[in-house]
Amino acid sequence: MHPTIRHLFLGSRRIPSRQEYKFARLRAEFAGLIALVAIFYTVLDWYNGMTAFYLWYGIMLVIAVISVLLNRAGRYDAANFFILLTINLVIFLFADVDRPQGGVYFYFMCASVAGLILFSNSSTTIRLTFGLLPIGLALLARLYDVNILPPPSSDPTVSRINFLANLTIGMLTTVVMVMFLIARHRESERSLLGSQHAITTASDALKRSEERYAMALQGTRAGIYEWHVPEDRVELSPHWRSLLGYSPSELSHLSLRAFLEMVHPEDLARTSAEVQYVVKNQMPYQNEVRLRTKDGTYRWFQDSGIGKSDAEGNLQVVIGSIIDIHERKMAEEKIRQQNELLAKANKELDYFVYSVSHDLRAPLSSILGLTSIYPMSKSQAEKDEVVKMISDRANVLDDFIREVLDYSRNSRLDLKLQPVLLWQLVDELLAGLAHMEGYRSIDIRVEIPSDLTVVTDPERVKVILSNLLTNAIHYRDTGKDSYIIIRAQRTEKEWMLEVTDNGIGIRTEHLPRIFDMFYKAHDTSKGSGLGLYIAHEAAHRLKGRLEVTSVYTEGTTFRLIVSN
């Protein structure tokens, strides 16, 4: 439409949609046709010398103008009602006085089609009302005579001209409306084809996206879940369930409480706090957590996701995933332990080098000094005393080397587990200590059931027990009747070996450090300070622990506790 004509019939206001523009243009064309018909018949009647209908032709022009004004103002429903009601009334008045051969009835058909088209987006009642109204008026005009207008000319020539004019105008009006419908149909068809193409494209893109998403999930082996917050319902994907050892038919959903019950107790507080943070702040989250699997064991997972809220800001759903990171966490834990062991080994190495330089050189220096004195001894008694002193220094050196070997074996050799009859192991060990000074002055009692058998590494148990018994004998209280009691017992979860003495005991301030390397709790100590450290490390290698309780001047109890 030319801009000037558009402005004249539609106005300068912006029409919001293509559909409204089309109907506004159709109303303008109807108004234009009404005006043209009025002008045509004015000229025709003037030519035929008739003036009776000039007023009604003027009314038709006014109807056309008002319709255009309503259309320009954007009052589309009012324009529809006005143009259809008035034009139906005008057609009825002309048909009432017209002979059937005049062709005015053609306009009822045009008005019916126009009503159906202009109200096509309205309710069915309105659409049928304006579609059937022209038919009712046509019947009324044919059956009853109102005769408001004067009758037209009865001249056959005039009637023939009127018939041809009415037929032509009616056909043109019908053609305009049919072309409008065809154009609307084509637009709808193009729109549908475009929508179909867009849907097909979107469907293909969605399919590719789903395939990539499925591949990504398969590649990351992620288990997906959806927590619907208002219903407190956690929907679980089949792979989520399989990661925890469940079949696809098991555990389709959980409540939040049931999910938290699957969390490892050590991770529960942190995970609960993470849930509260997500609910409050509605931010993406990530958490490493241990979850209980179907067989009761725990595995490490990385849990991450994001929440979605409604318009009021209330959290509605949380969508997340879990990825199995158990092997990685185990590797990290192993590295952490190895780093701790390395740091500990470096620290112990410093102590070890210092102590070795002292505890090896001191006895050797003494032996070298005594060997230089031996030739200068004048009597056999003096020589025997020197030899005895050399022997004592050599024994000290031998004990230190034995402790170093025990330390090396414990740190480097693997566990060799086997059934061990505890009373028999203790009996063999006591027989080996029988030569020790002060052994025979102590009452040693073994209170171990003769059938008590445990599965353990006997060599490490011997190292532990040998150090405990050696200390109990060495630090006996010579001012009272000394005793050592060796007990053992086993429960469903662990077994215990206990050594109790009534020796000189250990001061309270020394107890926290007695298992440190080269630490000596007594000024009278003749050892290297490695014994209890080695015993403690050996207990650790047995997956157990070494505990101590002591009261200074009253006695000491050591307990070796090992899980079954």
**Residue 447's pLDDT is what?**
92
Mean pLDDT of 202-220: 61
**Residue whose C-alpha is closest to residue 558's, from 481, 467, 476:** 467
Q: Which range has the worst mean pLDDT, 274-288, 394-408, 498-512?
A: 394-408
Amino acid at 57: Y
Going by C-beta distance under 8 Å and a sequence separation of 6 or more, which residues neighbour residue 512? none
What's the pLDDT tens digit per position in 511-520? 888 887 666 6
Of the candidates 521, 524, 526, which has an alpha carbon nearest to the alpha carbon of residue 509?
521
State residue 518's pLDDT score: 64
**Looking at domain 413-564, does it have CATH number 3.40.920.10?**
no
Q: What is the pLDDT of residue 524?
A: 56
Radius of gyration for the chain, computed over Cα atoms and rounded to the nearest angstrom: 55
Among 6-20, 139-153, 207-221, 549-563, whose mean pLDDT is lowest? 207-221
> 513 or 99: which carries more pLDDT confidence?
513
Predicted confidence band of residue 93 (pLDDT cuts 50, 70, 90): confident
- β-pairing, 298-309 vs 418-421, is unpaired
Q: Where in the chain is the domain with CATH 3.30.450.20?
A: 221-324
Distances, alpha carbon 114 to alpha carbons 118, 119, 128, in Å: 6, 8, 12
CA distances from 394 to 359, 363, 397, 399, 504 (A): 12, 7, 5, 9, 27
Measured N-to-C along each axis, helices 106-118 and 18-48 cross at an angle, to the nearest 10 degrees, of: 160
Q: Among residues 312, 217, 244, 328, which one has the least CA distance to residue 234?
A: 244
| Helix H or strand E segment including 181 | helix 156-220
CATH fold label, 221-324: Beta-Lactamase (3.30.450)
Residues of the chain with CATH 3.30.565.10: 413-564
**Cut 0.85: pTM above it:** no
Q: Where residue 212 falls among pLDDT bands split at 50, 70, 90? A: low
